[in-house]
């Protein structure tokens, strides 16, 4: 085959393959295949050496034309296919920039946790430190060490979940008082937040489990006036003076004298509702001067030391603070409720 024929054949072979190329990638390899250093067009140039001097300029021009023609075919087709490919990629990845974004739900603290943190912060501000005690404890720490003798009727005030004859779910955080006195000599100034359990009927105002913050302050010359001042300060800081409070005498075996503190029911503003049992007041804490028997059991000399203690119901407080109609809402995990805090 003459060189001129070879040139013609190469062109038609190339055009054939060009038709078959469907992607810019195919074209890139086609370009390398024909126009690469060791490809057929470069070979033609070598063939040129075997031709006569007369033929060379003409054939050389033919080869150069072929080379340019193939190169421009390749460039044009590559550019066309690349732009087509880009457009179909855009079509696939189409995005409506005017659509509103997807919201990521934000987590938040449970209202009981928020209430606990407020209370803890206020007492820390008054110099108390935080101590934790066990939810599962013995009869001694929950009752006996707090001056509840066996079979004492006061035990009936708190219906207890017993695990066996000795272990129980604590009915109040007062067990931490006993642990604290056992391991520390005065001055003792602690608060003890935690969960408590009682075998009671569930209603709008009480539940089988709830939270308390216990507190105990024992030192020389601690008086009832200190107790009252502490709570006046605490309640006015918490409610910002807005809420009316009531202190009234009460009985707990581990204090003498004992009292309860009520706040005006924010739900009914004192008019009476099922939350406050129609009394207009909500009992939020029990308190008193630590009983000498309790101090003695904790190896603290009641002749030298005195102290006050309290236990505060956090759900009761939160009901009033956030104006919540039913204590059961805290544990129902209804997002419509939880998202309001």
Give me the residues that bind ligand DAH (CB under 6 A), please.
172, 174, 214, 252, 254-255, 258, 286-288, 309-311
272 versus 302: smaller Cβ distance to ligand DAH: 302
Distance (Å, whole) CA 216 – CA 289: 9
Token pair for 305: 């030391």
What minimum distance in Å lies between the beta carbon of 164 and ligand DAH?
22
59 versus 174: smaller Cβ distance to ligand DAH: 174
What minimum distance in Å lies between the beta carbon of 256 and ligand DAH?
10
CA dihedral of 8, 11, 16, 19, whole degrees rounded to 10 = -150
Distance (Å, whole) CA 4 – CA 197: 103
Asked if 258 and 238 count as a contact pair (C-beta separation under 8 A), the reply is no
Distance (Å, whole) CA 282 – CA 270: 9
What minimum distance in Å lies between the beta carbon of 301 and ligand DAH?
19
Residue by residue, DSSP assigns 100-169 as: PPPPPPPP---HHHHHHHHHHHHHHHTT-EE----SEEEHHHHTGGGT--TT-GGGGGS---BSSSSEEE
Distance (Å, whole) CA 245 – CA 247: 7
What minimum distance in Å lies between the beta carbon of 218 and ligand DAH?
12
Total Cβ atoms within 10 A of residue 49: 7
Distance (Å, whole) CA 80 – CA 90: 16
């Amino acid at each position: 085959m003459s060189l001129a024929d070879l040139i013609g054949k190469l062109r038609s072979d190339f055009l054939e393959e060009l038709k078959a190329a469907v992607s810019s990638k195919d074209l890139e390899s086609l370009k390398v295949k024909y126009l690469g250093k060791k490809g057929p067009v470069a070979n033609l140039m070598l063939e040129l050496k075997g031709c006569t001097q007369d033929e060379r300029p003409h054939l050389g021009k033919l080869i150069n034309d072929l080379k340019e023609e193939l190169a421009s075919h390749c460039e044009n087709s590559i550019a066309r296919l690349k732009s087509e490919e880009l457009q179909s990629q855009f079509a696939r990845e189409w995005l409506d920039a005017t659509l509103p974004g997807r919201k990521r739900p934000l987590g938040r603290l449970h209202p009981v946790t928020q209430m606990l943190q407020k209370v803890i912060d206020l007492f820390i501000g008054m110099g108390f430190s935080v101590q934790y005690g066990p939810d599962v404890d013995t009869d001694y720490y929950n009752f006996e060490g707090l001056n509840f003798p066996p079979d004492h009727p006061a035990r009936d005030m708190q219906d207890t979940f017993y695990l066996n004859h000795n272990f129980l779910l604590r009915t109040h955080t007062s067990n931490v008082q006993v642990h604290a006195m056992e391991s520390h000599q005065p001055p003792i100034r602690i608060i003890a937040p935690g969960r408590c359990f009682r075998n009671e009927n569930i209603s709008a105002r009480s539940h089988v489990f709830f939270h308390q913050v216990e507190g105990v302050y024992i030192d020389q010359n601690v008086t009832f006036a200190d107790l009252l001042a502490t709570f006046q300060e605490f309640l006015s800081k918490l409610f910002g003076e807005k809420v009316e409070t009531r202190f009234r005498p009460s009985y707990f075996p581990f204090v003498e004298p004992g009292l309860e503190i009520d706040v005006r029911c924010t739900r009914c503003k004192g008019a009476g509702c099922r939350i406050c049992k129609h009394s207009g007041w909500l009992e939020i804490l029990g308190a008193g001067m630590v009983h000498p028997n309790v101090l003695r059991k904790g190896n603290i000399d009641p002749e030298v030391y005195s102290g006050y203690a309290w236990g505060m119901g956090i759900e009761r407080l939160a009901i009033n603070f956030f104006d919540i109609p039913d204590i059961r809402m805290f544990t129902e995990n209804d997002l419509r409720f939880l998202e309001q805090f």
